[in-house]
């Protein structure tokens, strides 16, 4: 055959493939979600998410010391609490495990980005991310509390706050409240397109969150792609520094829309259920673990993500180092 175009020429050996690879996966692009709870000496693997643990503050600091050499850029802290009430009051307690973890991490690991989840679901007895009254989630009242929560985290030393609640107007309210307090440098990582997904199960089990009803009046309908662009325009105009899509691998179209339509960095959250599915597949002999995980991550970056939050961050960093 007298072929001029032979795409296989670029695939013939490892170095040619490496040199022409379009998407690079690097440890500096990962955030590690971490769960913090009361007590001491606690390091419990999470149910259906065994690669991730729930820590007391002391154990968390030990763990961060163990993984320090991997040089991950940052963590996302989530509270796991037995203190739940209708208003999620624990969210504003400066003695909470999350608040103590923020300041301790800040002191011991000054270069690690401490990002914090801003939402009420770890602390409400109804399991919702916001205030709940007569079967409705109250938007504006919730936003007030979230802004206070974000300010508290910033005061404790968080460099990045991550509202995951999907209330309208919360990015602007948080930005104004932070600036008023003199925290103009605190980043906002906005969960901009967060879908009402079936893949949050292990996360909710970890929080011990029984959700009264569902979250569909605030999280997005998985059918909607254009609506994500609307959320993107809103969050960037409200001052989001980084915009996030969640879940990740089932929403690659949304990630690629974000990349095309936004001038701020795009993050994606590879959620607990996506992780659990891979683990189940490996156990069932359907796929091999490392290539399956790396293919998922590569796909998320290829679609246009700059940053990925994943429970696999530590392992990926180890694989890439080896």
Q: Which residues bind ligand PBG (CB under 6 A)?
A: 117, 119, 121, 129, 164, 200, 203-204, 215, 271-273
Alpha-helical runs (H) found in the chain: 14-20, 57-66, 97-108, 139-156, 170-180, 201-207, 226-237, 252-261, 272-283, 289-303, 313-321
Token digits of residue 79:
């509270």
**30 DSSP β-pair partners:** 308
Reduced to 3 states (helix: H, G, I; strand: E, B; else coil), residue 199 is coil
Whether 215 sits among the annotated catalytic residues: the reply is: no
Q: What's the min distance (Å) between Cβ of 121 and ligand PBG?
A: 5
Which residue number, 42 or 276, has a Cβ lying nearer to ligand PBG?
Answer: 276
Which residue number, 219 or 262, has a Cβ lying nearer to ligand PBG?
Answer: 219
**268 DSSP β-pair partners:** 245, 308
Which residue number, 97 or 273, has a Cβ lying nearer to ligand PBG?
Answer: 273
Q: What's the min distance (Å) between Cβ of 90 and ligand PBG?
A: 14
Q: What's the min distance (Å) between Cβ of 119 and ligand PBG?
A: 4
Q: Which of 83, 215, 246, 318 is catalytic?
A: 246
How many CA within 13 A on the CB side of residue 137?
25
Q: What's the min distance (Å) between Cβ of 35 and ligand PBG?
A: 10
Which residue number, 104 or 129, has a Cβ lying nearer to ligand PBG?
Answer: 129
Reduced to 3 states (helix: H, G, I; strand: E, B; else coil), residue 36 is strand
Q: Which of 29, 194, 215, 229 is catalytic?
A: 194
Instruction: Report the alpha-carbon distance of residue 76 to residue 73 in Å, rounded.
Output: 11
Which residue number, 229 or 246, has a Cβ lying nearer to ligand PBG?
Answer: 246
Whether 62 sits among the annotated catalytic residues: the reply is: no
Q: What's the min distance (Å) between Cβ of 6 and ligand PBG?
A: 43
Q: How many CB atoms lie within 10 A of CB 70?
A: 17
Instruction: Report the alpha-carbon distance of residue 259 to residue 273 in Å, rounded.
Output: 24
**124 DSSP β-pair partners:** 85
CB distance 201 to 47 below 8 Å: no
CB distance 85 to 124 below 8 Å: yes
Residues classed as catalytic: 194, 246
């Amino acid at each position: 055959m007298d072929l001029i175009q032979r795409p296989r020429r670029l695939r013939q050996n490892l170095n040619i493939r490496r040199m022409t690879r379009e998407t690079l996966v690097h440890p500096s692009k990962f955030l590690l979600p971490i769960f913090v709870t009361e007590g001491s000496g606690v390091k419990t693997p999470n149910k259906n998410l065994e690669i991730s643990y729930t820590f007391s503050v002391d154990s968390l600091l030990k763990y961060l010391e163990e993984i320090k050499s991997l040089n991950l850029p940052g963590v996302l802290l989530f509270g796991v609490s037995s203190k739940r009430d209708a208003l999620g009051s624990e969210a504003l307690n400066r003695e909470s495990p999350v608040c103590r973890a923020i300041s301790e991490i800040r002191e011991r690991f000054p270069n690690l980005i401490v990002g914090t989840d801003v939402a009420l679901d770890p602390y409400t007895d109804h399991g919702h991310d916001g205030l709940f009254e007569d079967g409705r989630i109250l938007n504006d009242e919730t936003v007030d509390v979230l802004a206070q929560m974000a300010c508290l985290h910033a005061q404790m030393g968080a460099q990045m706050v991550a509202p995951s609640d999907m209330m309208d107007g919360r990015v602007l309210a948080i930005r104004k409240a932070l600036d008023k307090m003199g925290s103009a440098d605190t980043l906002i990582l906005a969960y901009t397109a967060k879908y009402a997904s079936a893949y949050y199960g292990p996360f909710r089990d970890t929080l011990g969150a029984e959700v009264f009803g569902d979250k569909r009046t605030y999280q997005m309908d998985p059918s909607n792609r254009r609506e994500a662009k609307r959320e993107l325009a809103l969050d960037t105009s409200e001052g989001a520094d980084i915009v996030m899509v969640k879940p990740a691998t089932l929403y690659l179209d949304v990630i690629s829309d974000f990349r095309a339509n936004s001038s701020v960095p795009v993050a994606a959250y590879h959620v607990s259920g996506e992780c659990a599915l891979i683990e189940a597949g490996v156990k069932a002999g359907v796929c091999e673990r490392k290539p399956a995980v790396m293919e998922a991550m590569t796909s998320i970056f290829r679609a246009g993500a700059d940053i990925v939050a994943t429970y696999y961050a530590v392992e990926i960093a180890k694989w890439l180092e080896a």
